[in-house]
Amino acid sequence: MADPTRRDLISIDDLDDEELRRIVRRGEEYAAGRLDGELPLEEEVIGVLFRKTSTRTRTAFSAGALRLGARLITYGPGDLQENTGETVEDTAAVLSGMLDVLVARTAGSEAELRALARHPRMAVVNAMSAAEHPTQALADLTTLARRFGRIEGLRVLYVGEGNNTAAALALALARFAGTVLSLRTPPGYGLAPDILQRARLSAGRTGARIEERHDLVDLPPVDVVYTTRWQTTGTVKPTADWREVFAPFQVDAALMARCPGALFMHDLPAHRGEEVTAEVLDGPASIAFEQAENKYHSARAVLEWAAGRR
């Protein structure tokens, strides 16, 4: 029987504006310790399936589930019978009869996640697909809200590949009035056209602005400089000379000096000396490790929402 309280989070666009804000506010409440001791997921069973490596996301959702009172079942890349030929649809039918929420990182297409989510007894949370990393964006919004006291009107400069983190960030920031996201991506490595179109549609409704260029000329005034690892988990660059193309997009002290007063964010893991220098990542403007901790607070808010507890 379908459970009408279960909710799937495959894309940021699965959330309406109020749900998006509610999850961010709840993440802030968890971060502030105002909900310590509450067990809203007591007796719930959460499955955590990761086919790709993960430090922050897997730990955040595992620890979050346990701290909320849930029981936890974890699966590695070789643990399910899909490896022996069972279909995703059959796997979903079985898991949905036993789990309340499944947190899954496939690093493939969203089609598999959507197939898992067709069984409404079980909520499915996308812990990163090839196209989008929605739970990272929710952690990023929680970080911005905690640091600035608001998200509306913030100006973010994203430097690097238009990958799944950039996609989710664009879709999320576009929902807040007056925000400006300036994407500076290497030529040939921009945001997927459909993602850019969806983000701009939301921006047109809220008064936000999403811009993309393929150079670092004429940087606008910003509150935050954000970058991600050049070698995203589970992906391969289509051209052999990609490092030469990416090299001008390194975030170093000179780039940060062109953005006076800006904080630095990174979704981690980081490769010092590639996408960012150690001087920036470990410097006073960096809030990257604070951002990582907020993934744990945000994960609790996401689990609570997906399970239909609020």
CATH code, domain with 176:
3.40.50.1370
What is the torsional sign of CA 149, 136, 69, 10?
A: positive
Look up tokens 């999320």; give the residue.
172
As for how many domains the chain has, the answer is 2
Q: Are residues 40 and 173 in the same domain?
A: no
Q: Are residues 57 and 151 in the same domain?
A: no
User: Can you give the pLDDT at residue 107?
Assistant: 66
Q: Are residues 24 and 110 in the same domain?
A: yes
User: Can you give the pLDDT at residue 65?
Assistant: 98
Q: What backbone phi and psi angles, to 5 degrees, belong to 80?
A: -100, 155
Q: Are residues 302 and 269 in the same domain?
A: no
Q: Which domain holds residue 182?
A: 136-292
User: Can you give the pLDDT at residue 109?
Assistant: 81
* Segments of the chain scoring below 50 in pLDDT: 1
In whole angstroms, give the CA distance from residue 251 to residue 104.
31
Q: Are residues 146 and 119 in the same domain?
A: no
Q: Are 130 and 108 in contact (CB under 8 A)?
A: yes
Q: Are 105 and 127 in contact (CB under 8 A)?
A: yes
User: Can you give the pLDDT at residue 13?
Assistant: 98
User: Can you give the pLDDT at residue 262?
Assistant: 98
User: Can you give the pLDDT at residue 83?
Assistant: 79
Sheet with 209-213, edge to edge strand ranges: 209-213, 180-184, 155-159, 224-227, 263-266
In whole angstroms, give the CA distance from residue 202 to residue 15.
12
At 220, list the tokens: 């606008």
Report the run of H or E that residue 48 belongs to, with start and end.
strand 45-50
Q: Are residues 148 and 278 in the same domain?
A: yes
The pTM score is 0.95
User: Can you give the pLDDT at residue 233?
Assistant: 57
In whole angstroms, give the CA distance from residue 179 to residue 226.
15
Q: Are residues 208 and 278 in the same domain?
A: yes
